[in-house]
Structure 1
Amino acid sequence: MSLIRLDARNWRTRADFWAALLPALGAPDWHGPNLDALYDGLVAGDNRVRPPLTVEILVPTPLPADLVAYLDRVRCVFDDAARDTGLDIGLRRTITRDSG
């Protein structure tokens, strides 16, 4: 099981999320920053990091509400990929104490 931890401390936009996630997954250069491409990459095994995997987003500070809503949609993509492949594919958010 691969565990990818992403620090969301400085995230304010969707672009910040994608800039962290895609390299962590080892996504190919042609991978788009969108939910359809994310699903395809998880299901087809296009990423260097393949299931079983969990992405844990460490959230030390409140995130903008629209980004939180988007991350809920991202979690649904992970859930759909897990259901459709039968593999352990997950995403979770963990609230942490901001040490800065």
Structure 2
Amino acid sequence: MGRVMRPATFIDVTHAARLLMAVPRVARGEVCDGLIAQAGHADKYRKRFGRAHARLGTGTLSSRIGPGVLPTEPVFCDRLYARCLALVFERLARRDQPR
């Protein structure tokens, strides 16, 4: 698939995981993939027009999620948070694998 968005930082991963905590378990993978794809579209837009996309941000997961209300960051031993973090890492690693 190749790189489809700006490189993810730890903040991007934690923001995405915190957002996913509010998503039903069965939909988390699809929502996570959608966030990554939308961040990729925003990155292409940023490169082409030299500015952030009004709705999708600058090409990072954090900018795609935006300044909306995220739950307070839980401790890493919180099982739901740990599962959501693992999902984000897994989906980010998958996007960089050749097809």
TM bucket (normalised to shorter chain) is 0.3 to 0.5
User: Relative to total residues, which structure has the larger helix share, 1 or 2?
Assistant: 2
Give me the TM-score of the superposition, normalised by structure 2. Answer: 0.33
